Structure 1
Amino acid sequence: MTNSDTNANTNYDVIVIGGGPAGTTTASLLAQQGWDVALFEKTEHPRFHIGESLLPMSMPLLKKLGVYDQIESIGQRKLGASFFSETHDQHKSYLFKNSLTKDTPHAFQVKRASFDATLFHACKKHGVSCFENTQVTHCELNAEKPTITVLHKIKSKDNTVITKEKIYQSRFIIDASGRDTFMASKYKIKQANPKHRSAAIFAHFSSATEFPELSSGNIGVYWFKHGWCWLIPFSDGTVSVGAVCSPEYLKTRRGNLDQFLRDTIKLCPKLTTHLNTATLINQAQATGNYSYLSSKIYGKNYLAVGDAFGFVDPVFSSGVHIALRSAFKAAETIDICLKSPKQQEQALKSYSKFVQRGIKGFAWMIYHMLSPSFQHLFMNSKNTFRVEEAIISILSGDVFDNTQVRSRLFLFQCFYHIHKLFHTLKR
């Protein structure tokens, strides 16, 4: 057990619910600013998690957190993203060095168990009181100070696990509970994304064959009839493979999940050739309709960070980057709220706009990912008006502040609608 002493302080400036990238990053930054912070994680690191492909725009953030060298030591260097289309019988690689800014040429593929554990241990080094195996069961925001009720799981000397309930107070609460969406569920403000319905099935494999087109460590994205598959190579030679598809397709499964994943992979011939002799090293997992958003990202003395607010789709590896970037903004916002309560509402509104702008930067491309017109333009992109550079910038995660990216994305959207209209009229 790595819990801080459960008999210690119960009164903090900030309480963070969740020990993933969003929670640990926000907590670390606030502790560095001098605030007394406690973080509660319901499980224990290391633990498996999906979302293993990082983006270049996260690299400066990892350096600011002081963990870049550690992530580099466990990561597979990733220079771009490669897309494969059976319809077009071709593949297209986008290299990060060709983005609009040219200053973030790589990222890493990482196993999230190691990545998250690295951020968690850094969080402890920054002075955060970190509790693992601690489930937050209740939160009360209407009191003078917000309070949470938690269940600590404590292992005794004879390895018996006992549960201890305890109440903590703070001036501000951060919901970084990921897909648990603690606050959104509590206030019933979470809803399935009406613009996007997807499910996923995934696992890790060993002994995949070499693939020269991915020798740089690129993520591979393979379109197929019911959605798309990913392949993520790790530094130890194993790979992560998954399929994103409609919930209806997932319901067609007959038999065990491992075989259903293999059958789905067979719908992508180019991916199949690399996995014919591969060995499944963990049981396949599935998640149902996972695309959701909350109607509010903040409330009285709390805000949500990362997946606790919403999640769209893993196709452009946006999840971890949005978590990290919004965590930096969240720490800045909470610092203002605690120091200048009169500026709290303005600061929280600014935070909300910032995060939603970032999500919107990915969302349009995600929503149109399966459209034939989108696939045609994506596989045959040209750098007219620097549009291809803007696409690469989006793939790099440059979606929060760069107005050049947004203006050129608008041009790509125009090209898309023209192409779609042309082929509609041609029929």
Structure 2
Amino acid sequence: MSDNIFFNIIIIGGGPAGIAAGLTITSRCLSCVIVEANQISDQKLGECLPPNSLPLFKKMGLESLLQDEQHHPYYGNKSVWGNDKIEEKLFLFDKFSQGILLNRNYFEKQLREVSKLNHLQWLEGYTFYSVEKENDVTKVVLKSKTNTKTLYCNYIIDATGRKASVCRKLGVNKNTIDELTSLNFKYKIKKPVPFFVFTESLENGWVYVSPSEKDFLTVMIFTDLDLIPSKKEEKEFIERHINNSVLIQEILKKNDIEPEILDLKTRVANTTCLNVPFGENWIAIGDAAYSFDPLSSYGITSALAAGYYGGHAVSDAISGKTEALETYHFIMDNAFLNYKIQLKEQYATEKRWKEKTFWKRRLNYN
């Protein structure tokens, strides 16, 4: 690839949203390239796909990816929420009788392979540096450790996740609804754990557990950033939450798990949004436009949907149908508004700790 090349669309970010947009755009016979700084994805923990997400995978031709043995079907949820009893919900009588526990890193490798089989171009090892309008096109400057490339396009897509790098360079700020943060870690499993998704509300947050990786149990404790103590007190904070968890204690005892905290990482998990997810010659998709509380299970499903609809919208815009961007905004904004209503309702069902800081904040969502 030479230093000065024109594409109809440049996508910054090679995660699920960026790849979904790229696949959609190439299916429309437009030229595009995905720019990805990391040639190997960062280590990411598994993710659950609820049954109602499966039609989207079928619509996008990605359903076969979920049948790989690296992913596992799961047939329901177990939760402790609103009281101290374990409640079980099975998917047996749903239209789609199972969900999928993803091996997240493997799934992203699968998506990359699909994109390359569909002749989607990649530029890996380059970070996004700047964007500006130059005559009738958009100039994008990229940098690697040893080189600088200048590309030109009609539209640039921000698929950089919550950091929204392109939007920030353009001076477009996101609205932050909360400061939800997760402490993610693993436990070594000695015996198999049933393929369920486990969630439990706690005094100042909630916990998610799934056996989505072979020989390991994934655990995520969610609370607000200012409620997480210093690194020195972090271990004690986690152990206190684990000891107070009905679900986790049951899992540990039944499966003879040594509760040694492995691969501890802190990750942002908050709800954010743009007022308008597009502008002159740019569009934002996935977490760069709208990011979701993991309690909603929107995750990858929302990212793929945003890439699909955003890819069609920008393709239409290039062909002169600029109203397609407003349609994209309408679809995504309505989904986000419904999400906020449902999220507030879900948090409101937990009344045991309504005077605690974390829960008070969720009751005051607008």
How far apart in 2 are the matches of 1:237 and 1:320?
23
Aligned residues: 350
CA contact (8 A) 1:204 1:282 kept: yes
Q: Output the amino acid matched with 1:152.
A: S
SS at match of 2:263: coil
Question: What residue in structure 1 maps to residue 315 of structure 2?
Answer: 335
1:83 is matched with which residue: 72, 79, 85? 79
Choose 38-47 or 266-275, whichever is displaced more: 266-275
**Which consecutive unaligned segments of at least 5 residues does structure 2 have?**
354-362
Which residue of structure 2 lines up, in the alignment, with residue 190 of structure 1? 173
1:354-373 matches, cutoff 5 A? 354-372=331-349
TM-score by length of 1: 0.75
Query: Partner letter of residue 78 of structure 1?
Result: Y
Give SS of 2:276's match.
Answer: coil
The 2-side partners of 1:315 and 1:111 are apart by 19
What whole-Å deviation, never above 9, does each CA across 1:235-275 have from its counterpart, x for those lacking one?
5232211011122321x345164554333222213213324
The structure-2 alpha-carbon separation of the partners of 1:42 and 1:117, relative to structure 1 and needing over 3 Å to count, comes to: same
More displaced 10-residue stretch of structure 1: 65-74 or 322-331: 65-74
Match of 2:12 in 1: 17
Does 309-318 or 62-71 show the bigger shift? 62-71
**Structure-2 residue corresponding to 1:174:** 157
1:117 aligned onto 2:117: no
- The one-letter amino acid of 1:12's match is F
Asked if 1:255 is matched to 2:232, the reply is yes
With the length of structure 2 as denominator, give the TM-score of the two structures. Answer: 0.86
Q: Is the 8 A contact 2:79 2:199 kept in 1?
A: yes
- Whether 1:202 and 2:184 are equivalent positions in the alignment is yes
Match of 1:316 among 288, 296, 307: 296
3-state SS in 2 of match to 1:124: helix
* Aligned counterparts, 1:223-234, within 5 A: 223-234=201-212
Q: In 1, distance between residues paired with 2:134 and 2:90?
A: 50
Q: Is the 8 A contact 2:175 2:275 kept in 1?
A: no
Distance in 2 between residues matched to 1:316 and 1:75, nearest whole Å: 20
The aligned counterpart of 1:284 is 264
- The answer to whether the 8 Å contact 1:72/1:108 transfers is no
Give the match for residue 360 of structure 2.
none
> Could you give the per-residue CA deviations for residues 184-209 of structure 1, whole angstroms, max 9, x where no partner exists?
32244334534x34221111222165
Whole-Å separation in 1 of the counterparts to 2:272 and 2:258: 33
Q: 1:66 to 1:77 in 2, by over 3 A?
A: same
Please name the residue that 1:218 is paired with.
196
CA-to-partner distance for each residue in 1:343-385, whole Å, 9 max, x for gaps? 21x1111100101122223222323433356799xxxxxxxxx
The offset of 1:32, in angstroms, is 2.0
Q: Which amino acid aligns with 1:55?
A: P
Residue 355 of structure 1 aligns to which amino acid in structure 2?
A: M
- Kept in 1, the 8 Å contact 2:277–2:329? The answer is yes
Q: Does 1:136 align with 2:124?
A: no
Query: What amino acid is aligned across from residue 166 of structure 1 in structure 2?
Result: K
Answer yes or no: is the 8 Å Cα contact 1:45–1:116 preserved in 2. no
- Equivalent residue for 1:237, pick from 206, 212, 215: 215
Q: Residues 382-401 of structure 1: CA distance to partner in whole angstroms, max 9, x if unpaired?
A: xxxxxxxxxxxxxxxxxxxx
Q: Distance in 2 between matches of 1:248 and 1:113?
A: 29
Backbone CA RMSD of aligned residues: 2.6
Within 5 Å, give how 1:52-131 maps onto structure 2.
52-73=47-68, 74-85=70-81, 88-99=83-94, 102=95, 104-131=96-123
Shift, 1:152, TM fit: 2.8
Give the match's secondary structure for 2:86.
strand
Range with greater deviation from structure 2 (16-25 or 115-124): 115-124
Question: 1:264 pairs with 219, 241, 255, which one?
Answer: 241
Distance 1:348 1:208, change over 3 A: farther
8 Å Cα contact 1:200-1:286 kept in structure 2: yes
Does the 8 Å contact 1:111/1:234 carry over to 2?
Answer: yes
Counterpart of 1:45 in structure 2 is: 40
Pick one of 284, 288, 301 that aligns with 1:304.
284
Residue 246 of structure 1 aligns with which residue? 224
Q: Is the Cα–Cα contact under 8 Å of residues 209 and 278 in structure 1 kept in the other structure?
A: no
Identity of aligned residues (%): 18
Q: What is the distance in 1 between the residues matched to 2:73 and 2:306?
A: 24
Q: Is the partner of 2:328 in helix, strand or coil?
A: helix
Q: Conserved in 2, the CA contact under 8 Å of 1:203 and 1:283?
A: yes
Which range moved further: 361-370 or 302-311? 361-370
Distance 1:166 1:64 in 2: 35
Q: Does 1:274 align with 2:251?
A: yes
Q: Distance in 1 between matches of 2:166 and 2:91?
A: 36
8 Å contact kept, 2:269–2:293: no
Greater CA drift, 38-47 or 232-241: 232-241
Q: Deviations over 1:403-427 (max 9, x none)?
A: xxxxxxxxxxxxxxxxx9xxxxxxx
Amino acid at match of 1:354: I
> CA–CA distance in 2 between the matches of 1:179 and 1:231?
23
Q: Return the offset for 1:124.
A: 1.4
Higher normalized helix content (fraction of residues):
1
SS in 1 for 2:34: strand
